[in-house]
Amino acid sequence: MESFFVHENLLRSSLPHLLPARSNRTVHLQHDSPEVFAIYLHWLYYGTLPTKDTAAIDPDPTPEYLDLATACAFGAKFECFEFHNAAMDALVTMMNKNNIDNIRSPDILVKYAYSRPASGKALHRVLVDMYLCHATADLLDRGNWEHGHNIQDFLLDIARGSLGRDLSKCEPLDPSNYHI
């Protein structure tokens, strides 16, 4: 278990539901990773998200996509919409900048988003739009796409998203379309 020390008033102003009024000032986030809380704290103190330039080491952007998706889910879960929107802006910007077909394991991101109801519909929608507008069919051939409700829900959303849509006219994704 990792410990973080945070100014109480700052934390209360951003996540009022996290600390009870009369708290021993210790919060256990059993279902959230220390990594996502560290991302949140960086944003809380500096107003920016920490970014990694993983392209020089590994051209697969999956880990950073997953970090940003996790940050989006954290913001939605705790109703910290400014943090969610900042993470979503970074995620969409990264999607627009990088070739989405470089993702080696696209199933990991989809499974993450669709297995957590708290991640909200915004994360689902951005993944669907990313696949519809910027991916090639072989992206679904990579990864471990096990049959399950999460994958079925994602594929159903892909089918719904493609109905009545001219996919030849896809523009770069606009982050504000996914704000909550």
Separation CA 76–CA 4 (nearest Å): 21
pLDDT, average across residues 52-69:
74
> What is the per-residue pLDDT for 131?
87
How far apart CA 66 and CA 79 sit, in angstroms, is: 20
Q: 123-174 pLDDT, tens per residue?
A: 999 999 988 888 877 777 777 777 776 788 888 999 999 998 888 888 899 9
% of the chain at pLDDT higher than 90? 33
Q: What is the mean pLDDT of residues 113-126?
A: 82
User: What is the model's pTM?
Assistant: 0.88
Q: Would you state the pLDDT for residue 23?
A: 61
Q: For 57-69, what is the mean pLDDT? A: 80
* Closest among 57, 44, 128 to 87, alpha carbons compared: 44
